[in-house]
A and B are shown apart, each in its own frame.
Chain A
Amino acid sequence: MAFPHRLDAPELPDFSMLKRLARDQLIYLLEQLPGKKDLFIEADLMSPLDRIANVSILKQHEVDKLYKVENKPALSSNEQLCFLVRPRIKNMRYIANLVNADKLAGRIRKYKVILTPQKFYACEMVLEEEGIYGDVSCDEWAFSLLPLDVDLLSMELPEFFRDYFLEGDQRWINTVAQALHLLSTLYGPFPNCYGIGRCAKMSYDLWRKLEEEEDGETKGRRPEIGHIFLLDRDMDFVTALCSQVVYEGLVDDTFRIKCGSVDFGPEVTSSDKSLKVLLNAEDKVFNEIRNEHFSNVFGFLSQKARNLQAQYDRRRGMDIKQMKNFVSQELKGLKQEHRLLSLHIGACESIMKKKTKQDFQELIKTEHALLEGFNIRESTNYIEEHIDRQVSPIESLRLMCLLSITENGLIPKDYRSLKTQYLQSYGPEHLLTFSNLRRAGLLTEQAPGDTLTAVENKVSKLVTDKAAGKITDAFSSLAKRSNFRAISKKLNLIPRVDGEYDLKVPRDMAYVFSGAYVPLSCRIIEQVLERRGWQGLDEVVRLLNCSEFAFTDMAKEDKASSESLRLILVVFLGGCTFSEISALRFLGREKGYRFIFLTTAITNSARLMEAMSEVKA
């Protein structure tokens, strides 16, 4: 259990520096507004902020009261207001309304707006249009990388996914480039760079440009991280759409891990209170089970509980002196472990109640059938029943998308009937949801034969137009086929089963999906690292519709140490799942690498679907 790393596994760089940088900058900004002030924080930023500067730090810098930015009038009576928000137009309007209300009431206050991770011109434009540009001061808090764990950095930008992959909005690419630039400033240049995807390519190019503009600061430094791999989420929607069955993924699917911590409700804590628990490598119990297939976890935890009991039991034969030692040295640790153990056992029980039911088994069975491409009719019927019974709008949508991507689109009859059923179950506004899904390439109709429709032709021409090389057309995905089946065959994603797959001793990354499927994203990364580039993967790249956007860039003079060459930073643009993280951690252990993850946000199937769903306000 909890496979140890190989002895020669490289040390991870210390990412706590990123937190210190962010904290210092925030304090500097707060001090720019001397004296007491109230701080208005956007809800999405509360958890990330808490990981950087807790309330007492804020108080030290004269933050008086904290408010959440919400659609309610502010009751603050402070003379100075500070807003800490994402650069979104709706936030600007909120601030403008507040300032304008003060003006009407003849009230004079000082306002400061801190936008993070960066300012956008459009936001300042809105302040101007609303007539308050001169009344507020605008600053930028370049907080773009939150270390959630020793090997996991998150930009905490869930909207990246919708903005880029649905709306074709490229604003965040600059933020990504800036974040990469920061990393190379702190941890040295990356001698080997690989990537796939349009967004990956653009981010990479922009990042390079930034490095060139600055005086080769990183040039002389020795690289700490030998490789970087950038990957667009739309290279692999399938993996993100699957139900997760490794512990950390399952906890995320069941309870939603938010910014590295989870709220365990009374059913888990077996008390009347909810408990917020930080889930990371520091939680020794969690660290041992996070990457495990769920079927092993309960057994492991009970064994652990028995061991713990044995430790406690040692007290029985002790004399006073030994007892004193025990109490002062061991008891605290044991109690802590005890507390964590009971929490995770509680979580497990709660998950088992929900997930080991027959329903869940059938769901997994259907998913596996879709991945392997057999019994399509049966799966389609299953999905239809799922919709008819109103089991869950998000789950139904997820299954429809999984069917569509694995099958290169739904056949026209199913496409119509599933959509009709869905609209009847969940409301007509989902016409827009379907339009979104189609645009993102998540739920499409099989084109009759291989001929493209006139629209698609026009669009695909636009996309391949050389002059439009940098252009993302929002509809580009229309011209693409997912080709999942062919890719799966090429990359051997469905392992051949000879006998039972031993989930306790996994033999490949497929264990994260019960041995049924190797995550495509992780397989691509594995293959490219092995080949040190894309040689021999031309066909895969073509099937991924990415011939123009697969790149390799290797430094000529390699100053990197052999240790750093086994450190790999994987950048997921559009989010990554815990299953992918677990799979790559496994790969790392097998090969003596360590992976570091940088993601725009942690995602899972439900978050992907919610990002695409149209909801009535």
Chain B
Amino acid sequence: MDCYTANWNPLGDSAFYRKYELYSMDWDLKEELKDCLVAAAPYGGPIALLRNCGRKEKAASVRPVLEIYSASGVPLASLLHWNLSPPQWKSGPVVALGWSAEEELLCVQEDGTVLVYGLHGDFRRHFSMGNEVLQNRVLDARIFHTEFGSGVAILTGAYRFTLSANVGDLKLRRMPEVPGLQSAPSCWTTLCHERVAHILLAVGPDLYLLDHATCSTVTPAGLAPGVSSFLQMAVSFTYRYLALFTDTGYIWMGTASLKEKLCEFNCNIRAPPKQMVWCSRPRSKEKAVVVAWERRLMVVGNAPESIQFVLDEDSYLVPELDGVRIFSRSTHEFLHEVPVASEEIFKIASMAPGALLLEAQKEYEKESQKADEYLREIQELGQLVQAVQQCIEAAGHEHQPDMQKSLLRVQQKDVSDEDVARAINQKLGDTPGVSYSDIAARAYGCGRTELAIKLLEYEPRSGEQVPLLLKMKRSKLALSKAIESGDTDLVFTVLLHLKNELNRGDFFMTLRNQPMALSLYRQFCKHQELDTLKDLYNQDDNHQELGSFHIRASYATEERIEGRVAALQTAADAFYKAKNEFAAKATEDQMRLLRLQRRLEDELGGHFLDLSLHDTVTALILGGQNKRAEQLARDFRIPDKRLWWLKLAALANLEDWEELEKFSKSKKSPIGYLPFVEICMKQHNKYEAKKYASRVGPEQKVKALLLVGDVAQAADVAIEHRNETELSLVLSHCTGATDGATADKIQRARAQAQKK
């Protein structure tokens, strides 16, 4: 352990890189890797090899064999490619292999058909990249990953690009033509910018960027002069950075937009590299590029010197989120920047809290009292928490179980789930294709419920969190998350879970704190579970709604009069509790009215129940029960005005003109006499109308006279009032010859008024 830093290689002043073996490979390869099509799934996933892969120079009789191995070289499947697929696709040779984010193997054939296999070589499905691809054949193809899934990009024999950004939801996009392109690009890659896939390609000294509408030329910021061709390009795992290798042995490193240069390096090797990939991790200090030739590996970054390794065997690089995997016939290695936490702890003579803690732990194992001294020192500095966190984080980056264990042992038992979740998040970030709910589900499967919950917090889509939370019986949390997602169906699903899981009281209490869910549930209950609705209001002491509930019941569910009155009584009580005296009194009035209507029906026959108070009185008058009508009006304190309007309408309706006149004289009308005129005219009784017109007060006199058609007299009154509005009103009623004289009279009066 003392030589722990022996394999650390400095790049520039700040960062170290190390390469170490992950596995010695178990596979027993018969061929060289360079003779195979190779595809390794990211995140340490499986490796697929296609031997005899039908390159044209191969004899047609040799059938291609597809083999799938685990990362350590354990064979998972071996099959004669297209033996398992239906015969109609025995068409073309395979041009490219690649793994999807779901770890499905995609085999792109020359005719644009893509065959999809499972991890164990089971044939899943196939799809086509379209007619244009079929016509012009596939020249080159790439499988790439975005946050939506995995995509396929094709370069056809006509030098056109076709791509699908997500093979799970296949939408083909034919990219625009590069003007004047006569040969295949020297290199190309897919970029992903603002959620849209682009193609970057190099032709001679030019770089072209294709989006699905336009083709534009781009120039990397600060590119050294003299470049006549680009030999390799590499885009970083997260699509943020791009590296270009030119025919002058020069490497440009910058942002994927090409607008910003990070650094450049001249390696003085002009031979085209076999592979070039980025080597960095979220929050890494440096951003470096690894370039591989036949027997040489070079790590290049913002430093005057590069790190060089010799390759003993034919090797293959796999870019990862946190470094680069390198495998060959015999070994599988990992190359990465030494993480900050590890550096702090293991750096020679480090006094970082994590380093002291590790030291303390070592002394403790030796049963030395020095352990206590170290620990005391950390505690005095108040850095225990930080120390623990450093160790956990470093453990996450170490690949030797012993080292992991000693790092983890330092915290004894209190590895907090939160720290673990954070460490996982720091490692993965928001990498495309990573589903935190899947990781959480796995954690839950291992019995780590709390860890699963913490992990779920990193899941950006709240809807995705809900199913697992329900499974873990964290229904209340699930409810909050469902509400956050805005998906009411999801909320309802959780509600039903909660309803079955909790007792009624707890269920209601939960609802009480979630108004959105409460409204949703109430709506459901209103139509499907009326009793539950009542209980809900009860639980909430929502007396107002409870009152309303019983009012509704008094006419919607109860049929017998006693039941209805009882419902109203309950409603009134509730309203009193809600301090809504108005509603309580109104409800009590209604109880009285109902009883009375019942009695009226018994005594008089006819229909009274459920009439409004106004209509009840009207019905009595229409039935000739004037006495009872009066009584009712008094009992229910019907205001005078209303009573007059009501009687007026009823008597006119009966055409009981005699009674109407008697009524009009019973006392001074609180509504004036114009309404009498109006209603008589409405019943076409001009004779009666005229009687009342004379009694109309001066303000409405003109209106009344006009109503009964006495234009001349109306004119006189208006002139007497010297009221211009009235004068024009009368004038507008003067029609034809009959009122000619009247009109003249008004005009004269007007003229006179103006003189004055």
| A interface with B by C-beta (< 8 Å) | 88-90, 93, 120-122, 125-126, 129, 163, 167-171, 173-174, 177, 202, 205-206, 209, 212-213, 215-217, 219-220, 384-385, 388-390, 416, 419-421, 423-429, 431-432, 435, 462, 468, 470-474, 614, 616-617
Closest A-B pairs by Cβ, 4 of them: A168-B519, A89-B527, A428-B590, A121-B489
What residues of B have a CB within 8 angstroms of the CB of A614 in the complex?
A: 552
What residues of B have a CB within 8 angstroms of the CB of A384 in the complex?
A: 641
Partner of A429, one of B196, B461, B555, B671: B555
The reply to whether B641 and A385 contact each other, CB–CB distance below 8 Å, is yes
B612 at the interface (CB under 8 A from A): yes
Q: Which of B606-622 touch A at CB < 8 Å?
A: 610-614
Give the docked Cα–Cα distance between A275 and B740 (Å): 43
Partner of B496, one of A89, A125, A212: A125
B737 at the interface (CB under 8 A from A): no
The reply to whether B551 and A220 contact each other, CB–CB distance below 8 Å, is no
Give the docked Cα–Cα distance between A428 and B551 (Å): 9
The reply to whether B195 and A388 contact each other, CB–CB distance below 8 Å, is no
The reply to whether B486 and A206 contact each other, CB–CB distance below 8 Å, is yes
B194 at the interface (CB under 8 A from A): yes
What residues of A have a CB within 8 angstroms of the CB of B166 in the complex?
A: 215
Given contacts A220-B196, A617-B556, contact A89 B488 (CB under 8 A): no
The reply to whether B614 and A168 contact each other, CB–CB distance below 8 Å, is no
Partner of B548, one of A171, A431, A616: A431
B23 at the interface (CB under 8 A from A): no
What residues of A have a CB within 8 angstroms of the CB of B171 in the complex?
A: 215, 217
The reply to whether B610 and A472 contact each other, CB–CB distance below 8 Å, is no
Given contacts A209-B486, A385-B641, A474-B519, contact A424 B614 (CB under 8 A): yes
What residues of A have a CB within 8 angstroms of the CB of B636 in the complex?
A: 424
The reply to whether A419 and B582 contact each other, CB–CB distance below 8 Å, is yes
Give the docked Cα–Cα distance between A93 and B526 (Å): 13
The reply to whether A470 and B612 contact each other, CB–CB distance below 8 Å, is no
Q: With contacts defined as CB atoms under 8 Å apart, how many contacts are there between chain A and chain B in the complex? A: 146
The reply to whether A426 and B496 contact each other, CB–CB distance below 8 Å, is no
The reply to whether A424 and B527 contact each other, CB–CB distance below 8 Å, is no
Give the docked Cα–Cα distance between A120 and B171 (Å): 29
Partner of B516, one of A88, A121, A472: A472
Q: For residue B678, give the distance in angstroms from its CB to the closest CB of chain A.
A: 9
Give the docked Cα–Cα distance between A344 and B93 (Å): 73
The reply to whether B528 and A126 contact each other, CB–CB distance below 8 Å, is yes
Partner of A388, one of B148, B522, B544, B642: B642
What residues of A have a CB within 8 angstroms of the CB of B404 in the complex?
A: none
The reply to whether A220 and B555 contact each other, CB–CB distance below 8 Å, is no
The reply to whether B548 and A216 contact each other, CB–CB distance below 8 Å, is no
B561 at the interface (CB under 8 A from A): no
What residues of A have a CB within 8 angstroms of the CB of B587 in the complex?
A: 428, 431
Give the docked Cα–Cα distance between A126 and B628 (Å): 51
Give the docked Cα–Cα distance between A484 and B515 (Å): 28
Q: Which of B391-424 touch A at CB < 8 Å?
A: none
Q: For residue B177, give the distance in angstroms from its CB to the closest CB of chain A.
A: 16
What residues of B have a CB within 8 angstroms of the CB of A616 in the complex?
A: 555-556, 610
CB-based nearest A residue for B496: A125
What residues of B have a CB within 8 angstroms of the CB of A219 in the complex?
A: 194-196
The reply to whether A220 and B211 contact each other, CB–CB distance below 8 Å, is yes
Give the docked Cα–Cα distance between A420 and B196 (Å): 64
The reply to whether B519 and A472 contact each other, CB–CB distance below 8 Å, is yes
B3 at the interface (CB under 8 A from A): no
**Contact digits for B658-676, partner A, Cβ 8 Å, 1 yes 0 no:** 0000000000000100000
Give the docked Cα–Cα distance between A474 and B515 (Å): 8
What residues of A have a CB within 8 angstroms of the CB of B62 in the complex?
A: none
B520 at the interface (CB under 8 A from A): yes
The reply to whether A471 and B556 contact each other, CB–CB distance below 8 Å, is no
Q: For residue B542, give the distance in angstroms from its CB to the closest CB of chain A.
A: 10
The reply to whether B582 and A416 contact each other, CB–CB distance below 8 Å, is yes
CB-based nearest A residue for B638: A424
Q: For residue A178, give the distance in angstroms from its CB to the closest CB of chain B.
A: 11
Give the docked Cα–Cα distance between A614 and B556 (Å): 11
Q: For residue A206, give the distance in angstroms from its CB to the closest CB of chain B.
A: 5
The reply to whether B486 and A388 contact each other, CB–CB distance below 8 Å, is no
The reply to whether A202 and B642 contact each other, CB–CB distance below 8 Å, is no
Partner of B515, one of A129, A420, A421, A462: A462
Give the docked Cα–Cα distance between A457 and B598 (Å): 44
What residues of A have a CB within 8 angstroms of the CB of B488 in the complex?
A: 120, 169-171, 173-174
